[in-house]
Each structure stands twice: as structure tokens, then as C-alpha cells.
Amino acid sequence: MTQTLLKLAVFSAKPYDKKYLRLAKEQTQVAVDVVFYDFALGRKTISVVQGVDAVCAFVNDDLSAPILQALKEAGVRAVLMRCAGYNNVDLKAAKELGIFVANVPSYSPESVAEFTVALLQVLNRQIHRAYNRVREGNFSLHGLVGHTLHDKTVGLVGLGKIGFSVARILKGYGCRLLAYDPFPNKAFEEYGEFRSLEELLPECDIISLHCPLTEQTRHIINESTLKLIKKGALLINTSRGGLIHTKSVINALKRRELGGLAIDVYEAEGDLFYKDHSGEIIQDDQIMRLLTFPNVVVTGHQAFLTAEALNEIALTTFQNLNDFVMGKACPNSLIKE
Ligand code: NAD
């Protein structure tokens, strides 16, 4: 007798996702038939889930209440997020519908932390401009003066796994470290000091965001908090785009109050990131304005993208699926009793 295969639909699946998920699948005990879709899960694509048992989604897939309702009606019983953040999942609706949801809470925080420091240094030492100049045969150093990180004060907003990893790296650079986190981790005392957000912002030469996107943190960087930031400070965001009120940051850059911005995430990234729009007329005027500043560096949500992280994400995703199928208590379940 043939065993009924569980059907898993993977959305927003890029070649690197497929590679690592296929490798992880070989190591899992779950009899699963995996179908990959390169497009995102949303209103226009939901029809493909008919007869699917579980979906695997990423940061820009839509898992709002209406989509979860439609998933439930199609027979989907589990949502496997292959990321840490889950601000795009309506957990309350999932719980009411009895849909299992799990994430990958920790996968190589060093991947994101190291990328954060790389972005900071690209911005600080103007490597993005130097790279373009040299390719054009322009070896002038005019306007490329940066700063040492040594002795600079860095403020970490959110000191979880990634924030802490950034702290460890920057300690090596000789930075003075401050952090704001409503749930302070005492282990940080070896590295720096905690401050309230209002105290931290005026003290820092560099501010790096590492808190999750929640109702409390949405637009944590806004018109009024920007006024507290020291003139000329650099702002780095590798966490979630919604932490920054983009229009206010553009204005602060135009007024030359903010010294520079490096972002791997953008509040309206859902329609843009992970796709090639190079032959199109991009309609988003805010991202296009940001790209015109010499002191702004933008990357397309790639801080996680290392072989190590992809491997851990894939293995944990299948572990979560295994727990769900076996009816085991899943440590990564986001549905709290
Ligand atoms: P984590 O849960 O370990 O840490 C988050 C920290 O933020 C916690 O210490 C928490 O107490 C703190 N926090 C909660 N509310 C806060 C608030 N109002 N103000 C300040 N701090 C607050 O998470 P992590 O693994 O360090 O990841 C942090 C974030 O990084 C994720 O939520 C995700 O959005 C983002 N991320 C981005 C990428 C990328 O590729 N760019 C990859 C992974 C994670």
C-alpha cells in the first residue's frame, strides 16, 4: 500500500531556498511531497493551495486573517515560516482557525550581525561610492572621508540574539556600546550599558535597529525620535522596514540632520524586494528618493543570506513540520495556549 504523502507548498521559493530545503528534506523522516512556487502567497496566488496540507512562507508572504481563512478552507493545517520575524502572520486568526504556525526563531544571528557591520562600514567609509568611482577609472578620494569606529558610541535598539552578536563584533572595534531593550539582558553589562530610548538616541554616533516589528515598535524612528538623534549620526536598519517612518527619515537626510542611512529592509519592500525591476518604471517615489542620496545604502533584505543560515532555516523548518505531523510539542510554535 502506498503511504499518503503530506503536501507542502513553499512560497517565495528562490533557487537557494530550493537547494537547502531539498537537502533538509532528505534528512527528515516526514513523508512529504514538496512543491515550490517562486511567487509570494497572497490574494492572487492563494488558489494553488487546494489540497495542500502545509505552506512554507517567508517575510513578504501575506498571512493576514483573510488569507489564513482561505488556507483553512483549502485544507491547509500548518504554516511554516522560514524566518524569525512573523509580523506578517495574524497569529490571533491562526489560533482561532486552529492552524499550526511555527517559525525559525534562531538561525545564525551572526549572519545578520556581520552583514549589519558590513553595511555600517560601507556607509561610513563610503565604499559604495568608491566602488562605482574606481570602475569608471576615477581614483579621486575627494569627498570620501569617513570616521574610525574606534571610540564611537553605538546604540543598539533591541538586544536579542542579533543585537547581542552586533555588540560582540563592535566591542572588537573598540566602540562604546549602549542598548535599549524593554527586557534587558544582564549579560550585556560586560559590553556596555542600558539606556532608555530617549537617553540613548542623543548619545550615539551610530544607531542600529534590532527589535522586532510590533505595534509598539512600528515607526519607532519617526519625526519626534529623529529630533533626538545627534546631528550627523548614522542609522542602520537590518531588522524590519516598518521600524522607520521613511518620509521622516528622507526629510532628516534632506535637512542634513541625519548623517547617513543604511537599510536592508524597507517598509514597502513587499512589492519590490526579491524581484528584478530593472526594466520597469518603479512607482515607489520614496525608495527612489532614498536611492538618490550619496549617504544612503540600500540592500534588498539579504542580511540572512549565508549558506550557514539557509541550512539552519531549512533543517528547522522540516523539524517544525515533523513535530506538527507527529503531534509533538513544537518549541518553535507561535500559537500560545
Ligand atoms: P530576538 O527575539 O532575539 O531579539 C529581539 C529583541 O528585541 C529582544 O531582546 C526584545 O526584548 C527586543 N524588543 C522587543 N520589543 C522592543 C522594543 N519595543 N524596543 C526595543 N527592543 C525591543 O530577535 P533577533 O533574532 O535578534 O532578531 C531581531 C529582528 O531581526 C527580527 O525580529 C527580524 O525582524 C530581524 N531579522 C532580519 C533579518 C534580515 O535578513 N534582514 C534576518 C533575521 C531577522
208 lines ligand 1 (CB under 6 A): no
Residue 260: predicted pLDDT: 98
- Gap between the terminal Cα atoms of the chain: 38
With a CB cutoff of 8 Å and minimum separation 6, the contacts of 257 are: 226, 229, 231, 232
**Cα-Cα-Cα-Cα dihedral of 82, 87, 90, 91, to 10°?**
70
**pLDDT band at residue 289, thresholds of 50, 70 and 90?**
very high
SS3 assignment, position 209: strand
CA 99 / ligand 1 centre spacing (Å): 24
212 lines ligand 1 (CB under 6 A): yes
Residue nearest to atom 27 of ligand 1 (CA): 162
In contact, 63 and 79? CB cutoff 8 Å: yes
The CA R_g of the chain, rounded to the nearest whole Å, is: 21
Residue nearest to atom 32 of ligand 1 (CA): 212
**pLDDT band at residue 1, thresholds of 50, 70 and 90?**
very low
Best residue for ligand 1 mutational test, from 107, 161, 162 (most atoms within 8 Å of Cβ): 162
Alpha-carbon distances, residue 267 vs 13, 44, 50, 297 (angstroms): 21, 21, 31, 15
In contact, 72 and 99? CB cutoff 8 Å: yes
Is the pLDDT at 4 greater than 80? The verdict is: no
In contact, 319 and 21? CB cutoff 8 Å: no
* Separation of alpha carbons 264 and 332, rounded Å: 25
Q: Report, as residue numbers or ranges, the catalytic residues.
A: 240, 269
**Ligand 1 atom, smallest distance to 162 CA:** 26
Largest CA distance in the chain: 74
CA 199 / ligand 1 centre spacing (Å): 20
pTM over 0.75: yes
Residue 30: predicted pLDDT: 80
162 lines ligand 1 (CB under 6 A): yes
Q: Read off the amino acid at residue 176.
A: R
158 lines ligand 1 (CB under 6 A): yes
Bridge partners of residue 207, in order along the sequence:
155, 235
Residue nearest to atom 8 of ligand 1 (CA): 160
SS3 helix, strand, coil % of the chain, rounded to 5? 40, 15, 45
Q: Which of 17-31, 189-203, 240-254 has the lowest mean pLDDT?
A: 17-31
Domains along the chain with CATH numbers: 6-107+306-326 (3.40.50.720), 109-298 (3.40.50.720)
